[in-house]
Structures are given as C-alpha cells and as structure tokens.
Amino acid sequence: MATRAALITGGSSGIGLAIARALGEDGYGITVSARRPDKLEGAAQELRGAGLEVQAVPANMSNEEEITTLVTGHRERFGRLDVLINNAGVGVGGAVADAETKKLDMQLDVNLRAVYLTARECIPMLKEAGAEHGKALMANTASIAGKYGQGWLAAYSATKFGVVGLTQALHKELASEGVQVTALCPGFVATAMTDWVEGVPKEQMIQPEDIAEGIRYLLRTSPACIVPELQFIRPADNM
Ligand SMILES: NC(=O)c1ccc[n+]([C@@H]2O[C@H](COP(=O)([O-])OP(=O)(O)OC[C@H]3O[C@@H](n4cnc5c(N)ncnc54)[C@H](OP(=O)(O)O)[C@@H]3O)[C@@H](O)[C@H]2O)c1
C-alpha cells in the first residue's frame, strides 16, 4: 500500500483529475470524489488503468453527512491523509438583479461551506501527517475571482473570496503543526467549467496540469517554507 495518501474533491474531471493523476504518479494512494458516480468511476478506472492506486467515493458536497462518509471512507482505505485538495466547485453566471436564491445557496454550499466542513473532518489526520513529516498540505481551489470581484459572477466570486479568507485563517491555526494551507487562485483553466467562454480558445487558457504542477511545487518545498497562495494568470489577464 502507498505510504502517503491524498483526498481530492471534484476529482472526476478538470483540475481535480489532473491533480489526482500527478499525485498518483508520485506514489500517493488517492481517494477521488465527485457528485456523479458514473463519471467519477470512469475517471478512477482511467487512473487505475495507468497503474495508480485509486478509490472513488461519490459525495454531494452540499450534504454534510456525505462529506463525513467521504472522509471516513478515505480513512478506512488508507489510514492516513497527507494531502487534502478541496476542489469541488460550481459557478452560475448572471446579474445579481435576476438571481435565484437556490443558485446562490448551491454555490455557497459547494464552494465554501463544504470546504469548511471537509477541512474540519480532515484536520486530525492532517495533523498526524504533519507531526510525522512536517509537510502535510491542504490546498483549497479558490479562483482569481476570489481576488478581484467579477461582475455577472457575484455569488461565485463571493464564495471564492470566502475560500481565500478561510484558507488564511486555517493557515494560522495549522501552520505550527506541520500543515501547510494554500489557496489556489487560477484565471481561466481549460476545463468543462470554461466551455461557456467565447473568444478565448482552450489552448490559450491555463491547463489543468499547470495547477497540478503547482501542487507538486508546494509539496517539494522544505517544511520551513509555506506558500499561502498560488495565483495562475494568463498573459492576457494583465492583473
Ligand atoms: N476552470 C476554471 O477556469 C477555473 C478557474 C478558477 C477556479 N476554478 C475552480 O476549480 C475547481 C474545479 O473546477 P474545474 O475547472 O476543474 O471544472 P470541472 O471539470 O467542471 O470540475 C468540477 C468538479 O467538481 C465536482 N462537483 C461539482 N458540484 C459538486 C457537488 N455538489 N458535489 C461534489 N462534487 C461536485 C464535479 O463533479 P460532477 O461533474 O459530478 O458534478 C467535478 O468533479 C472549482 O472549484 C472551480 O470553481 C476553475
């Protein structure tokens, strides 16, 4: 069995799947989770086909009970957690003036509340790993929309600002216990989430593998070096 283990939410496609592949290739035992079981199992099969040690645990991150079942499932399979990637997320575009409450609630639940709850459930295992080797990692996928407010994505933007704030707060609580907590803040990434974007071809976007390389970087720095935030922007973003 793998000597280190990672749990990746939103691991069935895009950024999460790229991170799962990279960490699996680096020898981690992997739990991938996402909402739709068939799509998730397909992604897990693909990774297993490449020789990686992967279990798939479906969970709707807007449901607290499913979050606790997910973390328990990871613990039962691997017995440890060195890397948590809080990555599941949804974005619904539109003007605030026309917004439906249920869409606001869904984005708050999946993008922010679930990160808090999953972090809470995983902290004991992360602290154990931190005490062992001083370099446990929790990376929370925020967005560049969590650094600069985006019109017509107000709820999404607000949840991602929340993720950045939560990440800073968790860093203060956990840094002294060998647990690095980092916010990932990308601009447009070539995933299903940017299929709606017109005028920016996918090849001109950040690639999911770029984010995965960021995770590798965070893990390869020494325990004395904490990187609280990674921003990924395109040349055209001009931030
Ligand atoms: N693509 C970008 O430009 C970009 C930029 C900045 C930040 N991000 C963030 O990156 C993260 C990953 O997105 P992506 O770009 O890789 O898009 P993606 O390929 O659509 O991946 C989204 C993942 O989240 C899962 N998910 C969505 N709702 C869920 C729920 N209620 N419960 C559990 N899992 C759920 C999806 O599973 P199902 O398909 O089964 O729902 C999927 O695995 C998100 O947090 C997103 O906000 C993306």
Spans of all domains in the chain: 4-237
Distances (CA, A) of 199 to 92, 112, 143, 203, 234: 19, 29, 20, 12, 14
Instruction: Give the Å distance between the CA of 115 and the centre of ligand 1.
Output: 13
Contacts of 155 (CB under 8 A, 6+ apart): 92, 96, 99, 103, 104, 107, 108
194's tokens:
């940017």
- Return the closest-CA partner of residue 13 out of 69, 88, 115: 88
Pocket test for ligand 1, best of 8, 15, 62, 239 (most atoms within 8 A of CB): 15
- Return the closest-CA partner of residue 85 out of 234, 218, 220, 232: 218
pLDDT at 201: 97
Q: Is 156 a catalytic residue?
A: yes
1's tokens:
């069995």
Report the distance separating Cα 79 and Cα 159, nearest Å: 31
**pTM of the entire structure?**
0.99
Report the distance separating Cα 105 and Cα 207, nearest Å: 29
pLDDT at 2: 85
Report the distance separating Cα 11 and Cα 13, nearest Å: 6
Pocket test for ligand 1, best of 92, 141, 184, 237 (most atoms within 8 A of CB): 141
> Pick the catalytic residue: 28, 116, 156, 217?
156
Residue with the smallest CA separation from ligand 1 atom 19 is 14
Taking every pair of Cα atoms in the chain, the longest distance, rounded to a whole number of angstroms, is: 53
Q: Name residues contacting ligand 1 (CB within 6 A).
A: 10-16, 34-36, 39, 59-62, 87-91, 110, 141, 143, 186, 188-189, 191-194
Instruction: Give the Å distance between the CA of 35 and the centre of ligand 1.
Output: 10
CATH of domain 4-237: 3.40.50.720
Report residues of the chain scoring pLDDT below 70: 239
Distances (CA, A) of 13 to 19, 21, 41, 192: 10, 11, 11, 8
- Return the closest-CA partner of residue 182 out of 207, 205, 211: 211
Q: How many CB atoms lie within 10 A of CB 126?
A: 26
pLDDT at 239: 67
